[in-house]
Amino acid sequence: MALPRTTVTDGTLTEYAAFAGLVRSLGDDEWAKPTRCDGWTVGDVVAHVAGTLTDVVSGRLEGLGSPEVTAREVDERRGAGPAALADELDASARTAKELLAAFDDAAWNGEAPPGVPGTLGDGVEALWYDTFLHADDIRVAAGRATETGPGLEASVSHLATVLESQGWGPATLALDGVARHDVGGGGREITGDAFAFVLAATGRTDPAPLGLDETVNVYR
User: Are residues 62 and 171 both part of a single domain?
Assistant: no
* Partners of 176 in beta bridges: 193
Among residues 101, 119, 147, which one ends one of the domains?
A: 147
pLDDT of residue 118: 86
Q: What is the pLDDT of residue 95?
A: 98
The confidence score (pLDDT) of residue 116 equals: 77
Supply the pLDDT for residue 123: 94
What is residue 117's predicted lDDT score, i.e. its pLDDT?
A: 76
pLDDT at 114 over 80: no
Say yes or no: 107 and 86 in one domain: yes
Which residues are registered as beta bridge partners of 193? 176
Whether 163 and 181 map to the same domain: the answer is: yes
Q: Taking a C-beta distance cutoff of 8 angstroms, is the pair 182, 164 a contact? A: no
Higher pLDDT, 215 or 116: 215
Are residues 60 and 36 part of one domain?
yes
CA distances to 35, 41, 192, 195 from 169, rounded to whole Å, are: 30, 34, 17, 19
**pLDDT(100) > 80:** yes
The answer to whether 16 touches 96, Cβ cutoff 8 Å, is yes
Q: From CA 170, how far away is CA 8, in angstroms rounded?
A: 26
* Domain termination residue (choose one: 129, 147, 165): 147
What range does the domain containing 187 cover?
150-220
One domain, residues 129 and 47 = yes
Is the per-residue pLDDT at 115 higher than 80?
no
Q: How many separate helices (H) and strands (E) can be counted in the chain?
A: 9, 3
Q: What is the mean pLDDT of residues 72-93?
A: 97
Does the pLDDT value for residue 94 go beyond 80? yes
Q: Could you give phi then psi for residue 188, rounded to 5 degrees?
A: -60, 140
pLDDT tens-digit series, residues 116-164 = 778 999 999 999 999 999 999 999 999 999 999 999 999 999 999 999 9
Q: Looking at the structure, do residues 82 and 115 belong to the same domain, yes or no?
A: yes
My answer on whether 175 and 134 are in the same domain is no
Q: How many domains does the chain have?
A: 2
SS3 144: coil
Mean pLDDT value of segment 65-85: 96
Same domain, 23 and 88: yes
**184 phi and psi angles, rounded to 5 deg:** 65, 35
Q: Which of 147, 179, 205 is the last residue of a domain?
A: 147
For helices 194-201 and 150-165, the axis angle rounded to 10 degrees is: 40
Which has more pLDDT, 62 or 163? Answer: 163
Same domain, 159 and 138: no
- Measured CA to CA, the distance from residue 30 to residue 158 in angstroms comes to 29
> Are 46 and 24 contained in the same domain?
yes
Question: For the ranges 14-28, 101-115, 135-149, 202-216, which has the lowest average pLDDT?
Answer: 101-115
Q: Give 76's pLDDT tier (boundaries 50, 70, 90).
A: very high
CB burial of 133-142 (b: ≥16 within 10 Å; e: otherwise) equals bbbbbbbbbb
Residue pair 82/23 in contact (Cβ under 8 Å)? The answer is yes
Query: How do residues 160-205 score in pLDDT, each as one tens digit?
Result: 999 999 999 999 999 999 999 999 999 999 999 999 999 999 999 9
pLDDT value of position 87: 98
* 135/73 same-domain check: yes
Cα 79 from Cα 74, distance rounded (Å): 10
pLDDT of residue 183: 97
